[in-house]
Structure 1
Amino acid sequence: MSSFFVELWESIFTPGTTPTLLLATNVTFAALQVVLGLMLYATYSIHFLILSILCGGLWYSINWFARELKVYQKQEEEKARRLAATLPALESSDSETEVEATNSVESIKKGGNVQPKPVATSSEIQPLEQQGELKLRVTDEVSPESVSSQDIKSSVSTEDEWEKVSENENEKDK
């Protein structure tokens, strides 16, 4: 009996469902159903009937989920087996990429330095030319020589800027 509790404690920290955890869950729900049934018989309260129905639904859904999880795990194992069966066929084909990767891994293991291969550049792509310089906005109160660029703040508000933009658009429309 003590080994069951040890296995139950370890199954809590194991991902997925374990037979020990499912057994403990089923025993607990069965005991809860017995208690709710006794309370319904003793009090004839509809509340215990509703709680019993909710408990039965939760009990069924937990077992359904555990069954679906087993089916999914079996499908994943089957996929892994099929992939393992096709993997040797893929490894036997000669591919430059696989050979280069194998050679570079082997040379790293041996302690050799791997030099990256130069990448061919296209003559179609031209670097962008710098269009102009950024100019600092200087207010009327401060001369540009006396203040660094970090100390300069514009006295013109954003609303004034938007008014200028809208005036320019109106002039273009005319």
Structure 2
Amino acid sequence: MSAAKLIYLAHYPEHLQSSIKNLLVQNKLADYLRGKYPHTHQINSDAALRDYTFALKKRFMKQSSPLSQAKFDNKIHVVNHALGLHTYKQQVQGSKLKSKNEIKISSTFKNVPEAFLNMIVVHELAHLKEKTHDKAFYKLCEYMQPDYHQLEFDMRVYLTQVELKGEIY
């Protein structure tokens, strides 16, 4: 199995990629992930995702820009390396400039462990304050989710499993 096939793990050290390759070759990656994350979340509707996202925002980012919407979107394709999107829209209505922030999460994440959904929502919420993926952005992600980097890695391992071997939940 070539490193090129591990597109979600391409920027991780070779020893980590090698470990994942070995689990894939042995058909043990799904068992590893299910052992670490045995259950999926129950946030399956746009309304539930909105409530979940707004609760996280209220807990960690009370002073940030308002959020108008959070929903699942089946048009976001993980293959294009998008897990979720944060959009900022401005409209002129009469003499006023209206703006709103929206978060859309790929529908791929309707049936994953809650930790993965949480990591993606935290990532998109962080964009309300930090627009680029810089040190301040990741520090904010870690503030909201202390295991952020481990969860991002594990979620990328999950996406590798799904792409190469199929769904596991």
Relative to its length, the structure with more helix (as a share) is 1
**Between Structure 1 and Structure 2, whose CA radius of gyration is higher?**
1
Indicate the TM-score class for this superposition, using the shorter chain for normalisation: under 0.3
Point out which structure has higher relative CO (alpha carbons under 8 A, 6+ apart): 2
